[in-house]
Structure 1
Amino acid sequence: MDFLTLDYFIKLFNIILIDLVLAGDNAIVIALAARNLPKEHQKKAIIWGTVGAVIIRIAATLAVVWLLQLPFLLLIGGVLLVWIAYKLLVDEKEHNIEAKPQLWPAIRTIIIADAVMGFDNVIAVAGAAHGSFDLVIIGLIVSVPIMVWGSTLFIRLVEKFPVIITIGAGVLAYTAGSMLTGDPFVKGWFDENPVMKWAFIAIVVIGVILAGYLKKLSKNFISINEQGQLTIPDSIKNEAQIEANDSFEAKVDDQGRIVLVKVAKSEG
Protein backbone atom coordinates (compact mmCIF):
# COMPACT_ATOMS: atom_id res chain seq x y z
CA MET A 1 0.00 0.00 0.00
CA ASP A 2 1.31 3.46 -0.92
CA PHE A 3 1.83 5.93 1.88
CA LEU A 4 0.52 9.51 1.73
CA THR A 5 -2.52 8.59 -0.36
CA LEU A 6 -6.07 9.67 0.51
CA ASP A 7 -7.22 6.04 0.76
CA TYR A 8 -4.40 5.25 3.19
CA PHE A 9 -5.21 8.18 5.46
CA ILE A 10 -8.93 7.38 5.41
CA LYS A 11 -8.20 3.82 6.56
CA LEU A 12 -5.77 5.10 9.21
CA PHE A 13 -8.37 7.58 10.47
CA ASN A 14 -10.96 4.79 10.64
CA ILE A 15 -8.60 2.64 12.74
CA ILE A 16 -7.86 5.51 15.15
CA LEU A 17 -11.57 6.35 15.49
CA ILE A 18 -12.45 2.68 16.06
CA ASP A 19 -9.78 2.43 18.78
CA LEU A 20 -11.07 5.54 20.51
CA VAL A 21 -14.79 4.70 20.49
CA LEU A 22 -14.20 1.10 21.56
CA ALA A 23 -11.42 1.70 24.08
CA GLY A 24 -11.91 5.29 25.16
CA ASP A 25 -12.66 4.11 28.69
CA ASN A 26 -9.69 1.74 28.97
CA ALA A 27 -7.80 4.45 30.84
CA ILE A 28 -10.52 4.32 33.47
CA VAL A 29 -9.88 0.59 33.83
CA ILE A 30 -6.15 1.27 34.14
CA ALA A 31 -6.77 3.92 36.79
CA LEU A 32 -9.08 1.60 38.73
CA ALA A 33 -6.51 -1.21 38.68
CA ALA A 34 -3.79 1.10 40.02
CA ARG A 35 -5.85 3.10 42.51
CA ASN A 36 -4.73 1.20 45.63
CA LEU A 37 -1.02 1.53 44.89
CA PRO A 38 1.20 4.08 46.62
CA LYS A 39 1.47 7.30 44.62
CA GLU A 40 5.07 6.61 43.60
CA HIS A 41 4.07 3.27 42.04
CA GLN A 42 0.87 4.32 40.27
CA LYS A 43 2.67 5.93 37.33
CA LYS A 44 4.92 2.89 36.90
CA ALA A 45 1.90 0.56 36.92
CA ILE A 46 0.09 2.64 34.34
CA ILE A 47 3.13 2.91 32.03
CA TRP A 48 4.22 -0.75 32.19
CA GLY A 49 0.67 -2.06 32.21
CA THR A 50 -0.07 -0.02 29.10
CA VAL A 51 3.15 -1.18 27.39
CA GLY A 52 2.27 -4.82 28.06
CA ALA A 53 -1.30 -4.30 26.89
CA VAL A 54 -0.17 -2.60 23.68
CA ILE A 55 2.29 -5.41 22.85
CA ILE A 56 -0.43 -8.03 23.32
CA ARG A 57 -2.92 -5.90 21.35
CA ILE A 58 -0.53 -5.48 18.41
CA ALA A 59 0.39 -9.18 18.35
CA ALA A 60 -3.25 -10.29 18.55
CA THR A 61 -4.36 -7.82 15.87
CA LEU A 62 -1.57 -8.81 13.46
CA ALA A 63 -2.49 -12.46 13.98
CA VAL A 64 -6.14 -11.72 13.18
CA VAL A 65 -5.14 -9.66 10.11
CA TRP A 66 -3.32 -12.75 8.82
CA LEU A 67 -6.19 -15.09 9.70
CA LEU A 68 -8.75 -12.87 7.95
CA GLN A 69 -7.03 -13.61 4.65
CA LEU A 70 -8.38 -17.17 4.85
CA PRO A 71 -11.72 -17.98 3.17
CA PHE A 72 -14.90 -17.55 5.24
CA LEU A 73 -13.09 -15.89 8.17
CA LEU A 74 -13.86 -12.43 6.79
CA LEU A 75 -17.53 -13.44 6.75
CA ILE A 76 -17.33 -14.57 10.38
CA GLY A 77 -15.40 -11.44 11.39
CA GLY A 78 -17.92 -9.26 9.54
CA VAL A 79 -20.85 -10.78 11.39
CA LEU A 80 -19.02 -10.35 14.72
CA LEU A 81 -18.30 -6.72 13.87
CA VAL A 82 -21.96 -6.02 13.06
CA TRP A 83 -22.79 -7.23 16.57
CA ILE A 84 -19.96 -5.15 18.10
CA ALA A 85 -21.22 -2.01 16.31
CA TYR A 86 -24.74 -2.66 17.58
CA LYS A 87 -23.56 -3.26 21.15
CA LEU A 88 -21.56 -0.02 21.04
CA LEU A 89 -24.81 1.88 20.52
CA VAL A 90 -26.93 0.16 23.16
CA ASP A 91 -24.57 -0.97 25.92
CA GLU A 92 -23.81 0.96 29.07
CA LYS A 93 -20.34 -0.09 30.18
CA GLU A 94 -19.56 -0.91 33.77
CA HIS A 95 -16.09 -1.39 35.24
CA ASN A 96 -15.64 -4.04 37.92
CA ILE A 97 -11.87 -4.09 38.31
CA GLU A 98 -10.09 -5.34 41.42
CA ALA A 99 -7.45 -2.88 42.59
CA LYS A 100 -4.18 -4.52 43.63
CA PRO A 101 -2.04 -3.01 46.41
CA GLN A 102 1.28 -4.29 44.91
CA LEU A 103 2.99 -3.04 41.74
CA TRP A 104 3.38 -6.22 39.66
CA PRO A 105 -0.07 -7.66 40.46
CA ALA A 106 -1.54 -4.29 39.44
CA ILE A 107 0.40 -4.38 36.15
CA ARG A 108 -0.84 -7.93 35.55
CA THR A 109 -4.43 -6.84 36.23
CA ILE A 110 -4.11 -3.97 33.73
CA ILE A 111 -2.73 -6.26 31.01
CA ILE A 112 -5.36 -8.98 31.56
CA ALA A 113 -8.24 -6.48 31.75
CA ASP A 114 -7.15 -4.78 28.54
CA ALA A 115 -6.74 -8.12 26.76
CA VAL A 116 -10.25 -9.21 27.77
CA MET A 117 -11.83 -5.87 26.92
CA GLY A 118 -9.79 -5.51 23.73
CA PHE A 119 -11.32 -8.41 21.77
CA ASP A 120 -13.72 -6.12 19.93
CA ASN A 121 -10.86 -3.72 19.14
CA VAL A 122 -8.77 -6.52 17.69
CA ILE A 123 -11.53 -7.69 15.35
CA ALA A 124 -12.49 -4.16 14.31
CA VAL A 125 -8.96 -2.87 13.70
CA ALA A 126 -7.96 -6.02 11.83
CA GLY A 127 -10.97 -5.63 9.55
CA ALA A 128 -10.34 -1.90 8.99
CA ALA A 129 -6.67 -2.56 8.12
CA HIS A 130 -7.62 -4.57 5.00
CA GLY A 131 -4.56 -6.80 5.35
CA SER A 132 -2.08 -3.97 6.00
CA PHE A 133 0.22 -4.70 8.94
CA ASP A 134 1.70 -1.18 8.93
CA LEU A 135 -1.78 0.37 9.28
CA VAL A 136 -2.39 -1.73 12.40
CA ILE A 137 0.91 -0.71 14.02
CA ILE A 138 0.70 3.00 13.11
CA GLY A 139 -2.98 3.18 14.12
CA LEU A 140 -2.29 1.65 17.53
CA ILE A 141 0.81 3.79 18.11
CA VAL A 142 -1.21 6.93 17.42
CA SER A 143 -4.39 5.96 19.25
CA VAL A 144 -2.99 4.32 22.41
CA PRO A 145 -1.39 7.50 23.85
CA ILE A 146 -4.66 9.33 23.14
CA MET A 147 -6.57 6.47 24.75
CA VAL A 148 -4.45 6.47 27.92
CA TRP A 149 -3.70 10.14 28.52
CA GLY A 150 -6.51 11.81 26.61
CA SER A 151 -9.39 9.48 27.34
CA THR A 152 -10.91 11.76 29.98
CA LEU A 153 -11.21 14.53 27.41
CA PHE A 154 -12.56 12.09 24.83
CA ILE A 155 -15.17 10.74 27.25
CA ARG A 156 -16.29 14.31 27.99
CA LEU A 157 -16.59 14.95 24.25
CA VAL A 158 -18.69 11.82 23.85
CA GLU A 159 -20.96 12.89 26.73
CA LYS A 160 -21.36 16.33 25.17
CA PHE A 161 -21.66 15.08 21.59
CA PRO A 162 -23.20 11.56 21.64
CA VAL A 163 -23.18 11.61 17.84
CA ILE A 164 -19.50 10.61 18.08
CA ILE A 165 -20.58 7.14 19.20
CA THR A 166 -23.08 6.96 16.34
CA ILE A 167 -20.34 7.92 13.87
CA GLY A 168 -18.04 5.32 15.42
CA ALA A 169 -20.73 2.65 15.14
CA GLY A 170 -21.26 3.69 11.51
CA VAL A 171 -17.54 3.25 10.81
CA LEU A 172 -17.65 -0.19 12.46
CA ALA A 173 -20.70 -1.17 10.43
CA TYR A 174 -19.04 0.07 7.23
CA THR A 175 -15.95 -1.99 8.09
CA ALA A 176 -18.20 -5.00 8.74
CA GLY A 177 -19.91 -4.54 5.38
CA SER A 178 -16.52 -4.29 3.65
CA MET A 179 -15.40 -7.50 5.37
CA LEU A 180 -18.58 -9.34 4.40
CA THR A 181 -18.27 -8.30 0.74
CA GLY A 182 -14.50 -8.80 0.65
CA ASP A 183 -14.33 -12.46 1.68
CA PRO A 184 -12.75 -14.57 -1.10
CA PHE A 185 -15.91 -16.71 -1.22
CA VAL A 186 -18.13 -13.80 -2.37
CA LYS A 187 -15.63 -11.12 -3.45
CA GLY A 188 -15.71 -12.05 -7.13
CA TRP A 189 -19.48 -11.68 -7.37
CA PHE A 190 -19.53 -8.34 -5.54
CA ASP A 191 -16.65 -7.03 -7.68
CA GLU A 192 -18.73 -7.81 -10.76
CA ASN A 193 -21.77 -6.11 -9.21
CA PRO A 194 -20.44 -2.94 -7.50
CA VAL A 195 -23.94 -1.46 -7.15
CA MET A 196 -25.02 -4.49 -5.11
CA LYS A 197 -21.84 -4.27 -3.07
CA TRP A 198 -22.40 -0.65 -2.02
CA ALA A 199 -26.11 -1.22 -1.53
CA PHE A 200 -25.31 -4.12 0.82
CA ILE A 201 -22.79 -2.04 2.79
CA ALA A 202 -25.32 0.81 3.03
CA ILE A 203 -27.98 -1.59 4.32
CA VAL A 204 -25.56 -2.89 6.99
CA VAL A 205 -24.67 0.65 8.15
CA ILE A 206 -28.25 1.93 8.17
CA GLY A 207 -29.54 -1.30 9.72
CA VAL A 208 -27.05 -1.22 12.62
CA ILE A 209 -27.66 2.46 13.42
CA LEU A 210 -31.44 2.09 13.14
CA ALA A 211 -31.51 -1.08 15.27
CA GLY A 212 -29.34 0.59 17.92
CA TYR A 213 -31.53 3.69 17.94
CA LEU A 214 -34.74 1.66 18.30
CA LYS A 215 -33.25 -0.50 21.05
CA LYS A 216 -32.06 2.54 22.98
CA LEU A 217 -35.44 4.20 22.48
CA SER A 218 -37.23 1.12 23.81
CA LYS A 219 -35.21 1.38 27.04
CA ASN A 220 -37.12 4.58 27.80
CA PHE A 221 -40.60 3.11 27.20
CA ILE A 222 -42.90 2.67 30.18
CA SER A 223 -45.37 -0.15 29.50
CA ILE A 224 -48.65 -1.05 31.21
CA ASN A 225 -50.27 -4.48 31.35
CA GLU A 226 -53.95 -5.48 31.48
CA GLN A 227 -53.97 -5.22 35.28
CA GLY A 228 -52.82 -1.59 35.07
CA GLN A 229 -49.33 -2.36 36.36
CA LEU A 230 -46.47 -0.20 35.06
CA THR A 231 -43.11 -1.56 33.94
CA ILE A 232 -40.40 1.08 34.24
CA PRO A 233 -37.06 0.59 32.43
CA ASP A 234 -33.88 0.57 34.52
CA SER A 235 -32.59 3.71 32.78
CA ILE A 236 -35.60 5.73 33.97
CA LYS A 237 -35.67 4.02 37.37
CA ASN A 238 -32.03 4.92 38.03
CA GLU A 239 -32.33 8.48 36.72
CA ALA A 240 -35.47 9.21 38.77
CA GLN A 241 -34.18 7.22 41.79
CA ILE A 242 -37.33 5.09 41.89
CA GLU A 243 -37.42 2.23 44.38
CA ALA A 244 -39.76 -0.76 44.53
CA ASN A 245 -41.71 0.48 47.56
CA ASP A 246 -42.20 4.09 46.34
CA SER A 247 -45.72 5.50 46.16
CA PHE A 248 -46.98 7.83 43.43
CA GLU A 249 -49.92 10.17 42.96
CA ALA A 250 -51.34 10.74 39.47
CA LYS A 251 -51.92 14.36 38.43
CA VAL A 252 -52.66 16.21 35.20
CA ASP A 253 -50.25 18.95 34.11
CA ASP A 254 -51.00 22.16 32.19
CA GLN A 255 -50.78 20.32 28.86
CA GLY A 256 -53.29 17.66 29.85
CA ARG A 257 -50.67 14.93 30.34
CA ILE A 258 -50.82 12.46 33.21
CA VAL A 259 -47.90 12.98 35.56
CA LEU A 260 -46.83 10.59 38.32
CA VAL A 261 -45.58 12.45 41.38
CA LYS A 262 -43.62 10.55 44.01
CA VAL A 263 -45.32 10.73 47.42
CA ALA A 264 -42.94 11.57 50.24
CA LYS A 265 -42.47 8.72 52.69
CA SER A 266 -43.80 9.38 56.18
CA GLU A 267 -41.21 9.18 58.90
CA GLY A 268 -41.64 6.91 61.84
Structure 2
Amino acid sequence: MFEILTSVDAWVALLTLTFLEIVLGIDNIVFISIVANKLPKEHQRKATNWGLLLAMVQRIILLFAVSYLVGLKEPFYHIDTTWLTMGVSGQAIILLLGGLFLLYKSTSEIHEKVEIPEHDEAVLKSKNITKLSKAIFQIVIIDFIFSIDSILTAVGMTNGIGSKPTDALILMIIAVMISIIIMMVFANPIRVFINKHPSMQLLALSFLILIGFMLIAEAAHLSHAIVFGQEIGAIPKGYLYFAIAFSLLVEFLNMKLKKKIAVTENIKNNE
Protein backbone atom coordinates (compact mmCIF):
# COMPACT_ATOMS: atom_id res chain seq x y z
CA MET A 1 0.00 0.00 0.00
CA PHE A 2 2.85 2.37 0.85
CA GLU A 3 5.24 1.21 -1.91
CA ILE A 4 4.97 4.70 -3.40
CA LEU A 5 7.08 6.02 -0.49
CA THR A 6 10.10 4.16 -1.88
CA SER A 7 10.14 6.53 -4.87
CA VAL A 8 12.34 9.64 -4.84
CA ASP A 9 9.77 11.54 -6.94
CA ALA A 10 7.10 10.71 -4.37
CA TRP A 11 9.20 12.10 -1.49
CA VAL A 12 9.96 15.28 -3.44
CA ALA A 13 6.24 15.69 -4.20
CA LEU A 14 5.34 14.97 -0.56
CA LEU A 15 7.80 17.51 0.89
CA THR A 16 6.83 20.17 -1.66
CA LEU A 17 3.11 19.58 -1.15
CA THR A 18 3.44 19.63 2.66
CA PHE A 19 5.25 22.96 2.46
CA LEU A 20 2.58 24.43 0.18
CA GLU A 21 -0.22 23.07 2.40
CA ILE A 22 1.33 24.79 5.42
CA VAL A 23 1.96 28.12 3.71
CA LEU A 24 -1.45 28.13 2.01
CA GLY A 25 -2.98 27.30 5.38
CA ILE A 26 -1.65 30.49 6.98
CA ASP A 27 -4.84 32.37 6.09
CA ASN A 28 -6.74 29.56 7.74
CA ILE A 29 -4.65 29.92 10.92
CA VAL A 30 -5.17 33.69 10.94
CA PHE A 31 -8.94 33.29 10.56
CA ILE A 32 -9.07 30.58 13.23
CA SER A 33 -7.14 32.85 15.59
CA ILE A 34 -9.57 35.70 15.01
CA VAL A 35 -12.56 33.42 15.64
CA ALA A 36 -10.97 31.78 18.72
CA ASN A 37 -9.97 35.15 20.21
CA LYS A 38 -13.65 36.08 20.49
CA LEU A 39 -14.15 33.21 22.95
CA PRO A 40 -13.34 33.10 26.68
CA LYS A 41 -9.64 32.41 27.21
CA GLU A 42 -10.18 28.85 28.51
CA HIS A 43 -11.96 27.87 25.25
CA GLN A 44 -9.59 29.47 22.75
CA ARG A 45 -7.05 26.63 22.50
CA LYS A 46 -9.82 24.02 22.44
CA ALA A 47 -11.55 25.81 19.55
CA THR A 48 -8.29 26.00 17.59
CA ASN A 49 -7.40 22.31 18.08
CA TRP A 50 -10.92 20.99 17.39
CA GLY A 51 -11.24 23.29 14.40
CA LEU A 52 -7.99 22.03 12.86
CA LEU A 53 -8.81 18.36 13.60
CA LEU A 54 -12.20 18.68 11.92
CA ALA A 55 -10.47 20.53 9.08
CA MET A 56 -8.16 17.54 8.59
CA VAL A 57 -11.09 15.09 8.47
CA GLN A 58 -12.96 17.38 6.09
CA ARG A 59 -9.99 17.65 3.74
CA ILE A 60 -9.42 13.89 3.67
CA ILE A 61 -13.08 13.33 2.75
CA LEU A 62 -12.77 15.94 0.00
CA LEU A 63 -9.58 14.24 -1.25
CA PHE A 64 -11.47 10.94 -1.64
CA ALA A 65 -14.29 12.71 -3.50
CA VAL A 66 -12.02 14.67 -5.84
CA SER A 67 -9.76 11.63 -6.44
CA TYR A 68 -12.83 9.61 -7.45
CA LEU A 69 -13.90 12.29 -9.92
CA VAL A 70 -10.35 12.58 -11.32
CA GLY A 71 -10.40 8.81 -11.83
CA LEU A 72 -13.24 9.11 -14.39
CA LYS A 73 -10.93 8.80 -17.40
CA GLU A 74 -13.25 7.43 -20.06
CA PRO A 75 -14.50 10.14 -22.49
CA PHE A 76 -18.27 10.60 -22.53
CA TYR A 77 -18.30 13.21 -25.31
CA HIS A 78 -16.07 13.84 -28.33
CA ILE A 79 -15.39 17.19 -29.97
CA ASP A 80 -14.22 17.10 -33.59
CA THR A 81 -14.04 20.44 -35.40
CA THR A 82 -11.71 21.95 -37.96
CA TRP A 83 -9.46 23.41 -35.24
CA LEU A 84 -10.15 21.31 -32.12
CA THR A 85 -10.28 17.57 -31.50
CA MET A 86 -10.62 16.07 -28.02
CA GLY A 87 -12.46 13.54 -25.86
CA VAL A 88 -14.21 15.10 -22.86
CA SER A 89 -14.04 13.02 -19.65
CA GLY A 90 -14.88 13.61 -15.99
CA GLN A 91 -11.16 13.73 -15.24
CA ALA A 92 -10.54 16.45 -17.83
CA ILE A 93 -13.45 18.57 -16.59
CA ILE A 94 -12.31 18.41 -12.94
CA LEU A 95 -8.72 19.26 -13.83
CA LEU A 96 -9.79 22.09 -16.15
CA LEU A 97 -12.20 23.63 -13.64
CA GLY A 98 -9.61 23.15 -10.90
CA GLY A 99 -6.96 24.92 -12.94
CA LEU A 100 -9.26 27.82 -13.74
CA PHE A 101 -10.28 28.09 -10.07
CA LEU A 102 -6.65 28.19 -8.93
CA LEU A 103 -5.86 30.93 -11.45
CA TYR A 104 -8.82 32.98 -10.21
CA LYS A 105 -8.16 32.25 -6.54
CA SER A 106 -4.43 33.04 -6.66
CA THR A 107 -4.76 36.26 -8.64
CA SER A 108 -7.64 37.55 -6.49
CA GLU A 109 -5.81 36.65 -3.26
CA ILE A 110 -2.63 38.38 -4.44
CA HIS A 111 -4.70 41.46 -5.34
CA GLU A 112 -6.39 41.53 -1.91
CA LYS A 113 -3.14 41.03 0.00
CA VAL A 114 -1.33 43.75 -1.94
CA GLU A 115 -4.14 46.29 -2.36
CA ILE A 116 -6.47 45.66 0.64
CA PRO A 117 -4.55 43.59 3.24
CA GLU A 118 -7.15 44.18 6.00
CA HIS A 119 -10.04 42.77 3.93
CA ASP A 120 -10.18 39.25 5.43
CA GLU A 121 -9.77 40.33 9.04
CA ALA A 122 -12.46 43.01 8.66
CA VAL A 123 -14.98 40.45 7.36
CA LEU A 124 -14.44 38.12 10.30
CA LYS A 125 -14.25 40.80 12.96
CA SER A 126 -17.69 42.00 11.91
CA LYS A 127 -19.18 38.66 13.09
CA ASN A 128 -20.09 38.16 16.72
CA ILE A 129 -18.96 34.73 18.01
CA THR A 130 -19.28 33.88 21.71
CA LYS A 131 -20.06 30.13 21.99
CA LEU A 132 -17.50 27.32 21.51
CA SER A 133 -19.80 25.27 19.24
CA LYS A 134 -20.54 28.32 17.10
CA ALA A 135 -16.83 29.11 16.83
CA ILE A 136 -15.95 25.53 15.79
CA PHE A 137 -18.74 25.55 13.19
CA GLN A 138 -17.41 28.87 11.85
CA ILE A 139 -13.87 27.42 11.69
CA VAL A 140 -15.07 24.35 9.74
CA ILE A 141 -16.93 26.54 7.23
CA ILE A 142 -13.88 28.77 6.81
CA ASP A 143 -11.65 25.74 6.29
CA PHE A 144 -14.03 24.33 3.68
CA ILE A 145 -13.62 27.52 1.65
CA PHE A 146 -9.85 27.45 2.01
CA SER A 147 -9.55 23.69 1.48
CA ILE A 148 -10.75 23.91 -2.13
CA ASP A 149 -7.52 25.46 -3.40
CA SER A 150 -5.54 23.22 -1.04
CA ILE A 151 -7.17 20.06 -2.44
CA LEU A 152 -6.75 21.18 -6.05
CA THR A 153 -3.10 22.01 -5.36
CA ALA A 154 -2.63 18.50 -3.97
CA VAL A 155 -4.24 16.96 -7.07
CA GLY A 156 -2.07 19.06 -9.37
CA MET A 157 1.13 18.16 -7.52
CA THR A 158 0.50 14.40 -7.33
CA ASN A 159 -1.55 13.59 -10.43
CA GLY A 160 0.24 10.90 -12.43
CA ILE A 161 2.65 9.94 -9.63
CA GLY A 162 2.87 6.20 -8.96
CA SER A 163 1.61 3.20 -10.87
CA LYS A 164 -1.57 2.70 -8.81
CA PRO A 165 -4.59 5.04 -8.59
CA THR A 166 -4.26 5.06 -4.79
CA ASP A 167 -0.60 6.19 -4.79
CA ALA A 168 -1.39 9.87 -5.32
CA LEU A 169 -4.24 9.69 -2.79
CA ILE A 170 -1.89 8.27 -0.12
CA LEU A 171 0.61 11.09 -0.71
CA MET A 172 -2.12 13.74 -0.51
CA ILE A 173 -3.55 12.33 2.73
CA ILE A 174 -0.09 12.12 4.35
CA ALA A 175 0.72 15.71 3.30
CA VAL A 176 -2.59 17.01 4.68
CA MET A 177 -2.13 15.16 7.98
CA ILE A 178 1.46 16.37 8.42
CA SER A 179 0.56 19.97 7.58
CA ILE A 180 -2.42 20.03 9.97
CA ILE A 181 -0.36 18.50 12.81
CA ILE A 182 2.43 21.04 12.23
CA MET A 183 -0.13 23.87 12.22
CA MET A 184 -1.63 22.59 15.48
CA VAL A 185 1.76 22.45 17.19
CA PHE A 186 3.37 25.53 15.67
CA ALA A 187 0.36 27.68 14.71
CA ASN A 188 1.58 30.80 16.49
CA PRO A 189 5.29 30.64 15.40
CA ILE A 190 4.22 29.96 11.80
CA ARG A 191 1.83 32.92 11.87
CA VAL A 192 4.53 35.18 13.31
CA PHE A 193 7.04 34.02 10.68
CA ILE A 194 4.63 34.64 7.78
CA ASN A 195 3.58 38.03 9.18
CA LYS A 196 7.26 38.94 9.39
CA HIS A 197 7.91 37.63 5.86
CA PRO A 198 4.65 38.13 3.89
CA SER A 199 6.52 37.53 0.64
CA MET A 200 6.48 33.78 1.48
CA GLN A 201 2.70 33.71 1.21
CA LEU A 202 2.73 35.73 -2.01
CA LEU A 203 5.30 33.25 -3.32
CA ALA A 204 2.99 30.32 -2.49
CA LEU A 205 0.08 32.06 -4.22
CA SER A 206 2.32 32.55 -7.26
CA PHE A 207 2.99 28.80 -7.23
CA LEU A 208 -0.77 28.30 -7.45
CA ILE A 209 -0.74 30.14 -10.78
CA LEU A 210 1.85 27.66 -12.08
CA ILE A 211 -0.13 24.71 -10.72
CA GLY A 212 -3.32 26.12 -12.26
CA PHE A 213 -1.71 26.30 -15.72
CA MET A 214 -0.32 22.79 -15.20
CA LEU A 215 -3.79 21.43 -14.39
CA ILE A 216 -5.25 23.03 -17.51
CA ALA A 217 -2.45 21.61 -19.68
CA GLU A 218 -2.89 18.21 -17.99
CA ALA A 219 -6.64 18.28 -18.73
CA ALA A 220 -5.94 19.00 -22.41
CA HIS A 221 -3.23 16.33 -22.57
CA LEU A 222 -5.38 13.61 -20.97
CA SER A 223 -8.19 14.51 -23.39
CA HIS A 224 -5.75 14.05 -26.29
CA ALA A 225 -6.62 17.57 -27.37
CA ILE A 226 -5.36 18.67 -30.77
CA VAL A 227 -5.56 22.43 -31.37
CA PHE A 228 -4.86 23.66 -34.91
CA GLY A 229 -3.09 20.40 -35.67
CA GLN A 230 -0.86 20.53 -32.58
CA GLU A 231 -1.34 18.01 -29.76
CA ILE A 232 -1.19 19.50 -26.27
CA GLY A 233 1.53 17.89 -24.15
CA ALA A 234 1.76 17.54 -20.37
CA ILE A 235 4.08 19.78 -18.36
CA PRO A 236 6.71 17.63 -16.58
CA LYS A 237 6.35 18.03 -12.81
CA GLY A 238 10.14 18.23 -12.50
CA TYR A 239 9.95 21.72 -14.02
CA LEU A 240 7.43 22.75 -11.34
CA TYR A 241 9.55 21.33 -8.50
CA PHE A 242 12.63 23.12 -9.84
CA ALA A 243 10.76 26.43 -10.14
CA ILE A 244 9.46 26.14 -6.56
CA ALA A 245 12.85 25.10 -5.13
CA PHE A 246 14.70 27.86 -7.02
CA SER A 247 12.17 30.52 -5.96
CA LEU A 248 12.42 29.45 -2.32
CA LEU A 249 16.21 29.50 -2.46
CA VAL A 250 16.18 33.04 -3.85
CA GLU A 251 13.65 34.12 -1.19
CA PHE A 252 15.70 32.64 1.69
CA LEU A 253 18.84 34.36 0.34
CA ASN A 254 16.86 37.60 0.14
CA MET A 255 15.68 37.18 3.75
CA LYS A 256 19.23 36.48 4.91
CA LEU A 257 20.49 39.57 3.07
CA LYS A 258 17.79 41.77 4.64
CA LYS A 259 18.68 40.44 8.08
CA LYS A 260 22.36 41.15 7.49
CA ILE A 261 21.60 44.70 6.33
CA ALA A 262 19.39 45.29 9.39
CA VAL A 263 22.15 44.08 11.73
CA THR A 264 24.71 46.32 9.99
CA GLU A 265 22.41 49.36 10.28
CA ASN A 266 21.82 48.66 13.99
CA ILE A 267 25.56 48.53 14.60
CA LYS A 268 26.06 51.82 12.78
CA ASN A 269 23.22 53.48 14.70
CA ASN A 270 24.68 52.32 18.03
CA GLU A 271 28.05 53.79 17.10
TM-score range, shorter chain: 0.5 to 0.7
2:111 matches 1:75: no
Find the aligned partners of 1:179 and 1:120 in 2 and give their Cα distance: 12
Q: Name the residue aligned to 2:130.
A: 101
Which of 39, 50, 54 is the aligned partner of 1:52?
54
Tell me the alpha carbon deviations over residues 10-49 of structure 1, each in whole angstroms, 9 at most, x when there is no partner.
Answer: 2112322221232213222222222232322222222222
Among 4, 25, 28, the residue aligned to 1:26: 28
Q: What residue in structure 1 maps to residue 110 of structure 2?
A: 89
Number of matched pairs: 200
Q: Give the drift of 1:141.
A: 0.9
Instruction: Between the two structures, name the one with larger relative contact order (CA 8 Å, sep ≥ 6).
Output: 2
TM-fit CA distance, 1:139? 0.5
The answer for unaligned runs of 5 or more in structure 2 is 72-90, 114-118, 160-164, 248-271
**CA radius of gyration, larger in:** 1
What is the letter of the counterpart of residue 29 of structure 2?
A
Q: TM-score, normalised to structure 1's length?
A: 0.63
Q: Is the 8 A contact 2:53 2:180 kept in 1?
A: no
Distance 2:47 2:21 in 1: 22
Q: Which amino acid aligns with 1:27?
A: I
CA displacement at 1:113 relative to structure 2: 1.8
2:169 aligned with 1:119: no
- Separation in 2 of the partners of 1:166 and 1:43? 28
Distance in 1 (CA, whole Å) between partners of 2:8 and 2:207 is 17
Structure 1 CA distance for aligned equivalents of residues 178 and 24 of structure 2:
15
Is the counterpart of residue 140 in structure 1 residue 176 in structure 2?
A: yes
1 CA distance for matches of 2:175 and 2:66? Answer: 15
Q: For 1:24 and 1:137, locate their aligned partners in 2 and report how far apart those are by CA, in whole Å.
A: 19
Match of 1:237 in 2: none
Specify the SS of the correspondent of 1:91.
helix
Return the TM-score normalized by structure 2: 0.62
Q: Is 1:2 aligned to 2:13, yes or no? A: no
Per-residue deviation, 1:142: 0.9
Change (3 A) 1:157 1:40: closer
Contact conserved, 2:102 with 2:209, CA < 8 A, in 1? yes
Residue 134 of structure 1, CA deviation: 0.7
The aligned counterpart of 1:185 is 223
Task: Pick which of 76-85 and 6-15 moved more.
Answer: 76-85
**8 Å CA contact 1:24, 1:155 repeated in 2:** yes
Q: What stretches of structure 1 of length at least 5 have no aligned partner?
A: 210-268
Change (3 A) 1:113 1:6: same
Change (3 A) 1:89 1:6: farther
CA distance in 1, matches of 2:111, 2:186: 24
CA distances 1:62-114 after superposition (whole Å, capped 9, x unpaired): 21222233233212212222223333433225223235222212211111122
Higher fraction of helix: 2
Q: Give the partner amino acid of 1:177.
A: F
Which of 141, 146, 158 aligns to 2:194? It is 158
Q: 1:178 to 1:36 in 2, by over 3 A?
A: closer
CA contact (8 A) 1:88 1:165 kept: no
- Alignment root-mean-square deviation, CA: 3.2
Distance 1:52 1:161, change over 3 A: closer
Structure 2 distance, partners of 1:159, 1:103, is: 27
Name the SS for the 2:173 alignment partner. Answer: helix
Do the aligned partners of residues 141 and 66 (structure 1) sit closer, same or farther apart at CA in structure 2, a change above 3 Å counting? same
Q: Is the 8 A contact 1:85 1:170 kept in 2?
A: yes
Distance 1:4 1:166 in 2: 32
CA distance in structure 2 between the partners assigned to 1:50 and 1:125 by the alignment: 18
1:68 and 1:164 map into 2 onto residues whose CA distance is 30
CA distance in structure 1 between the partners assigned to 2:186 and 2:22 by the alignment: 10
Mapped partners of 1:197, 1:26: distance in 2: 30
Helix, strand or coil at the partner of 1:150:
helix
